[in-house]
Amino acid sequence: MTAELETRDFRMDDYDAAIALWSRVEGVEVAEGDTRAEIASFVQRNPGLSRVATEGTKLVAVALCGHDGRRGHIYHLAVDPDCRRRRLGKCLVDECLNGLRAAGIKRVIILVASDNPRGLSFWRNLKWEDMPFALAMGIDL
């Protein structure tokens, strides 16, 4: 990392910049669960696990991370397209995983859109495995 490039905990002051980044990055879907109040609640339940990378005052990468006491989850990993190929995504993933390990979590799950080849390639290059025995399902409440 350069002197200007730093990683740190996600803070709610980062919310607007994170939403803007997620909205610009192909493969990341900003959905109804991503309101300021819901992200604040998520971060509060999972202190110190979500991460950002900044270059000067600009947020250039972000990852939401948390756990349910049994399984860890990483959501909305995004790197500014102008900052790719600097290993920022891997750095944030490693920091998230270290936080989950410290919390005693043994397994981490991600969801990657099947029509997101860049995301699939990224995660596979980090040795994440496909789970062909599982099918993601959901319901809106």
**What CATH number should be reported for the domain whose range is 5-125?**
3.40.630.30
Least confident of 36-45, 63-72, 128-137: 128-137
Q: How far is CA 65 from CA 22, 39, 72, 81, in A?
A: 15, 11, 7, 21
State the average pLDDT over residues 100-114.
94
Contact of 18 with 69, CB cutoff 8 Å: no
83, with CB counted inside 10 A (0-12, 13-18, 19+), is middle
- pLDDT value at position 114? 86
32-60: pLDDT as tens digits: 889 999 999 999 999 999 999 999 999 99
Q: How far is CA 17 from CA 36, 60, 114, in A?
A: 12, 9, 26
Q: What ranges do the domains of the chain cover? A: 5-125
Q: Indicate if the pLDDT at residue 1 is higher than 60.
A: no
Helix axes 15-24, 36-45, angle to 10 degrees: 110
Rounded CA-CA distance 22/29 in Å is 7
Q: How far is CA 8 from CA 11, 38, 44, 65, in A?
A: 9, 21, 16, 13
Q: Indicate if the pLDDT at residue 82 is higher than 70.
A: yes
Whether pTM > 0.75 for this model: the answer is yes
Contact of 17 with 61, CB cutoff 8 Å: no
111-127: pLDDT as tens digits: 998 888 899 999 999 99
